[in-house]
Amino acid sequence: MKNLFQQSTLDLSRQLLGMELIHEIDGKATSGRIVEVEAYKGPEDRGAHSYGGRRTKRTEVMYGRPGHAYIYLIYGMHFCFNIVTGVPDKPEAILVRALEPLRGIDRMAERRGIHLAFDEDGNPKQNKMKPLTNGPGKLCQALGISMEQYGHDLTRKPLYIKSVSEPLAEEKIATGPRINIDYAGEARFYPWRFWIKDHSFVSR
DNA sequence: GGGACGATCGAT
DNA sequence: TCGATCGTCCCC
Closest nucleotide to A138: CA versus each C1': B9
- Residue A155: what are its φ and ψ, rounded to 5°? -90, 0
User: For position A20, what pLDDT does the model report?
Assistant: 98
Give the integer Cα–Cα distance in Å for A32 and A55: 31
Give the integer Cα–Cα distance in Å for A173 and A79: 26
Q: Give A105 CA → B5 C1' in Å.
A: 35
Q: Give A131 CA → C3 C1' in Å.
A: 20
When pLDDT is cut at 50, 70 and 90, the band that residue A2 belongs to is: low
Footprint of strand C on the protein (CB under 7 A): A 49, 54, 56-59, 72-73, 75-77
Of A22, A35, A24, A139, residue with least CA distance to A78: A139
Kindly report, residue by residue over A48-102, the tens digit of the pLDDT. 999 999 999 999 999 999 999 999 999 999 999 999 999 999 999 999 999 999 9
When pLDDT is cut at 50, 70 and 90, the band that residue A204 belongs to is: confident
Q: Give A71 CA → C8 C1' in Å.
A: 13
Which pTM was predicted? 0.97
Of A187, A173, A164, A196, residue with least CA distance to A50: A187
